[in-house]
């Protein structure tokens, strides 16, 4: 079973997604496990602060090293002999792809996602943990939670049995760029929109050719 460990200041945001739909059912079927850790639970500050002003000046705040390290230590537990991957979500990281998702699903037993906020995480955390920076796309979002969820979803879909059968994984079948369902003809604003004839023909070879195009 693959276990995801997500370190985040917003645990509820993670649970709202991972406890639902396909990822939620994958947990119920014991295909995966999702554990969430809040860095605020690992700080010695009485106000639960986990950030500080950046050295050298500049805007915003930076997440401190110690709470991150302690959260990762808690996540690791006794993982000797297990294949663990530690990932820091960053717009500067390597581009995550579907090929990456397939590789991770087969290669690791535990994946730790560190979701940064503010101006980022103190660089010493990355050095100490020997973490890799990964990005979910060529854009910047407010924090690492959404990229972490994208990766969890993409990886989980690659695990055998999660989608019921291997052909349910889109890249292993011919779905086509356009899909249709009933009714056969849909009327909107006085204009008819019909399902392409080839999809109604029952000719599987021609249908496959249509979808490939």
Domain ranges of the chain: 2-166, 174-212
CA distances from 150 to 146, 147, 190 (A): 6, 5, 40
* pLDDT of 138 over the 80 cut: yes
pLDDT band at residue 169 under the 50/70/90 scheme: low
Helices (H) and strands (E) in the chain, counts: 7, 9
Asked if 120 and 62 count as a contact pair (C-beta separation under 8 A), the reply is yes
Q: What does the pLDDT look like over 190-202, one tens digit per residue?
A: 999 999 999 999 9
* Distance from chain centroid for Cα 39: 19
Question: Which CATH number, 3.40.50.300, 3.30.70.1050, 3.40.1280.10, 3.40.50.1440, labels domain 2-166?
Answer: 3.40.1280.10
Asked if 83 and 94 count as a contact pair (C-beta separation under 8 A), the reply is no
How many percent of the chain have pLDDT more than 90? 84
Q: Report the pLDDT value the prediction gives residue 211, as an integer from 0 to 100.
A: 84
Q: What does the pLDDT look like over 78-122, one tens digit per residue?
A: 776 679 999 999 999 999 999 999 999 999 999 999 999 999 999
Please state the rounded mean pLDDT for residues 170-175.
58
Among the listed residues 67, 169, 200, the one whose alpha carbon sits nearest the alpha carbon of residue 122 = 67
Among the listed residues 8, 148, 130, the one whose alpha carbon sits nearest the alpha carbon of residue 90 = 148
Between helix 98-107 and helix 145-157 the angle, nearest 10°, is 70
pLDDT band at residue 213 under the 50/70/90 scheme: confident
Q: What does the pLDDT look like over 10-33, one tens digit per residue?
A: 999 999 999 999 999 999 999 999
Reading the block at residue 90, the tokens are 């960053």
Instruction: List all residues 6 or more positions away from 154 whose beta carbon is below 8 Å from its beta carbon.
Output: 96, 98, 101
Which is higher by pLDDT, 174 or 85?
A: 85
């Amino acid at each position: 079973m693959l276990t995801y460990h997500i370190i985040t200041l917003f645990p509820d945001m993670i649970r709202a997604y991972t406890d639902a739909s396909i990822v939620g059912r994958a947990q119920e079927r014991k295909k995966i496990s999702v554990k969430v850790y809040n860095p605020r639970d690992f700080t010695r500050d009485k106000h639960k602060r986990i950030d500080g002003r950046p050295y050298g000046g500049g805007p915003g705040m930076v997440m401190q090293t110690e709470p991150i390290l302690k959260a990762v230590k808690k996540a690791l537990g006794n993982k000797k002999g297990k294949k663990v991957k530690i990932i820091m979500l960053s717009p500067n990281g390597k581009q995550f792809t579907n090929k990456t998702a397939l590789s991770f699903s087969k290669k690791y037993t535990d994946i730790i996602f560190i979701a940064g906020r503010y101006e980022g995480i103190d660089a010493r955390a990355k050095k100490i943990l020997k973490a890799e920076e990964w990005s979910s796309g060529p854009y910047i979002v407010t924090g690492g939670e959404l990229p972490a969820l994208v990766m969890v979803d993409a990886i989980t879909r690659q695990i055998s049995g999660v989608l019921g059968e291997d052909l349910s994984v889109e890249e292993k079948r011919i779905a086509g760029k356009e899909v249709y369902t009933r009714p056969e003809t849909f009327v909107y604003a006085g204009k008819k929109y019909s399902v392409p004839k080839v999809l109604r023909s029952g000719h599987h070879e021609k249908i496959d050719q249509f979808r490939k195009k």
